Structure 1
Amino acid sequence: MTELLEELKKVSIELKNDAINFAQKLIQTPSISGSEKDVADLLLAEMEKLGYDQFFRDDMGNVVGIVEGTKAGPAIMYNSHMDHVSPGDPNNWEGYDPYGGTIDICKVDNQDGQQEEAECIHGRAASDVKGGEAAQIYAGGALAKLKKLGHDFKGKFIFTGVVQEEPAEMVGMIHLIDKTFKENGIDYDAMVSSEATSLKLYCGHRGRVEMLATIYGRTSHGSAPWLGINAIYKSIPLISKIKDELYPSLPTDKQLGQASLSLNIIECSPGALSIVPDKCMLSLDRRTIPGEEAQSAIKEIQELIDQLASEDEEFKADIKVKTALEKSYTGVEYEVPKVMAPWKISTDHPFVKAAANALEELGEPVKYGYWDFGTDASKTAGIDRKPTIGYSPMQEQYAHTPYDKVRTDYISRAIVGNSAIYLKVVEAGKEALKELEW
Structure 2
Amino acid sequence: MLNLLDDKLKKAIKEITEELYKDMIEFVQKLIQTPSMSGEEKDVADLNIAEMEKLGYDEVFRDDQGNVVGIVKGTEPGPTIMYNSHMDHVSPGDVDNWEGYDPYGGFIDRCKVDNQDKEPDEAECVHGRAASDVKGGEAVQIYAGGLLVKLREKGFPIKGNFMFTGVVQEEPAEMVGMLHLIDKTLPAKGLTYDAMVSSEATSLKLYCGHRGRVEMLVTVYGRTSHGSAPWLGINSIYKAMPLIERIKDELYPALPTDPDLGQASISLNIIECSPGALSIVPDKCLLSLDRRTLPGETAETALGEIQSIIDDLASKDPEFKADVIIKSALETSYTGLAYEASKDMSPWKISKDHPFVRAAAEALEAVGQSVKFGYWDFGTDASKTCGIDRKPTIGYSPMQEQYAHTPYDKCRTDFMKIGLEGNVAIFLNVTSAGEEAFEKVEW
TM range, smaller chain: over 0.9
TM superposition outliers: structure 1 runs of 4+ over 6 Å: none
Contact 1:203 1:389 in 2 (8 A): yes
- Measured after TM superposition, the shift of residue 144 of structure 1 is 0.6
- The residue that corresponds to 2:320 in the other structure is 315
- The residue that corresponds to 2:152 in the other structure is 147
- The residue that corresponds to 1:57 in the other structure is 62
- Measured after TM superposition, the shift of residue 5 of structure 1 is 2.8
- The residue that corresponds to 2:408 in the other structure is 403
CA distance in 1, matches of 2:30, 2:49: 14
Corresponding letter in the other structure for 1:91: D
- The residue that corresponds to 1:75 in the other structure is 80
**Other structure's SS at 1:56 match:** strand
Out of 17, 21, 27, which is 2:22 matched to? Answer: 17
Written as runs of structure 1 = structure 2, the 5 A alignment for 1:251-262 is 251-262=256-267
- Measured after TM superposition, the shift of residue 148 of structure 1 is 1.4
CA distance in 1, matches of 2:119, 2:434: 38
Written as runs of structure 1 = structure 2, the 5 A alignment for 1:8-47 is 8-47=13-52
- The residue that corresponds to 1:277 in the other structure is 282
CA distance in 1, matches of 2:117, 2:438: 30
Corresponding letter in the other structure for 2:196: M
Moved more, 194-203 or 7-16: 7-16
- Measured after TM superposition, the shift of residue 429 of structure 1 is 2.5
- The residue that corresponds to 2:207 in the other structure is 202
Out of 188, 191, 196, which is 2:196 matched to? Answer: 191
Cα deviations across residues 3-56 of structure 1 (Å, max 9, x unaligned)?
Answer: 323311211111111101101110010000000000000000000010000000
**Other structure's SS at 1:85 match:** coil
* 2:378 is the alignment partner of 1:373: yes
- The residue that corresponds to 1:134 in the other structure is 139
* 2:167 is the alignment partner of 1:162: yes
- Measured after TM superposition, the shift of residue 113 of structure 1 is 4.8
Written as runs of structure 1 = structure 2, the 5 A alignment for 1:282-293 is 282-293=287-298
CA distance in 1, matches of 2:228, 2:153: 81
Cα deviations across residues 315-351 of structure 1 (Å, max 9, x unaligned)?
Answer: 0000010001000000000001100000000111110
Corresponding letter in the other structure for 2:81: I
Corresponding letter in the other structure for 1:321: I
CA distance in 2, matches of 1:352, 1:217: 53
Contact 1:73 1:429 in 2 (8 A): no
Contact 1:211 1:321 in 2 (8 A): yes
CA distance in 1, matches of 2:267, 2:116: 30
Corresponding letter in the other structure for 1:280: C
- Measured after TM superposition, the shift of residue 112 of structure 1 is 1.4
- The residue that corresponds to 2:331 in the other structure is 326
- Measured after TM superposition, the shift of residue 58 of structure 1 is 0.3
CA distance in 2, matches of 1:145, 1:231: 66
- Measured after TM superposition, the shift of residue 111 of structure 1 is 5.5
Contact 1:111 1:199 in 2 (8 A): no
5+ residue gaps in structure 2?
A: none
- The residue that corresponds to 1:172 in the other structure is 177
Cα deviations across residues 166-214 of structure 1 (Å, max 9, x unaligned)?
Answer: 0000000000000000000111000000000000000000000000000
**Other structure's SS at 2:431 match:** helix
Structure 1's 113 and 268: CA in aligned 2 closer, same or farther, altered over 3 A?
farther
* 2:96 is the alignment partner of 1:91: yes
CA distance in 1, matches of 2:181, 2:107: 33
Corresponding letter in the other structure for 1:132: G
- Measured after TM superposition, the shift of residue 153 of structure 1 is 1.4
**TM-score w.r.t. length of structure 1:** 0.99
Corresponding letter in the other structure for 2:23: D
Corresponding letter in the other structure for 1:367: K
Structure 1's 15 and 174: CA in aligned 2 closer, same or farther, altered over 3 A?
same
Moved more, 107-116 or 38-47: 107-116
Contact 1:200 1:369 in 2 (8 A): yes
Q: CA RMSD in A?
A: 0.7
Cα deviations across residues 367-408 of structure 1 (Å, max 9, x unaligned)?
Answer: 000000000000000000000000000000000000000000
Corresponding letter in the other structure for 1:285: D
**Other structure's SS at 1:427 match:** coil
- The residue that corresponds to 1:426 in the other structure is 431
**Other structure's SS at 1:160 match:** strand
Out of 90, 111, 120, which is 1:106 matched to? Answer: 111
**Other structure's SS at 2:434 match:** helix
CA distance in 2, matches of 1:385, 1:114: 38
- Measured after TM superposition, the shift of residue 110 of structure 1 is 2.2
- The residue that corresponds to 1:242 in the other structure is 247
Identity fraction in percent: 74
5+ residue gaps in structure 1?
A: none
- Measured after TM superposition, the shift of residue 430 of structure 1 is 1.0
**Other structure's SS at 1:428 match:** coil
Out of 346, 358, 361, which is 2:363 matched to? Answer: 358
Cα deviations across residues 225-277 of structure 1 (Å, max 9, x unaligned)?
Answer: 00000000000000000000000000001100000000000000000011000
CA distance in 2, matches of 1:369, 1:279: 43
- The residue that corresponds to 1:342 in the other structure is 347
CA distance in 1, matches of 2:141, 2:435: 23
Corresponding letter in the other structure for 2:332: K
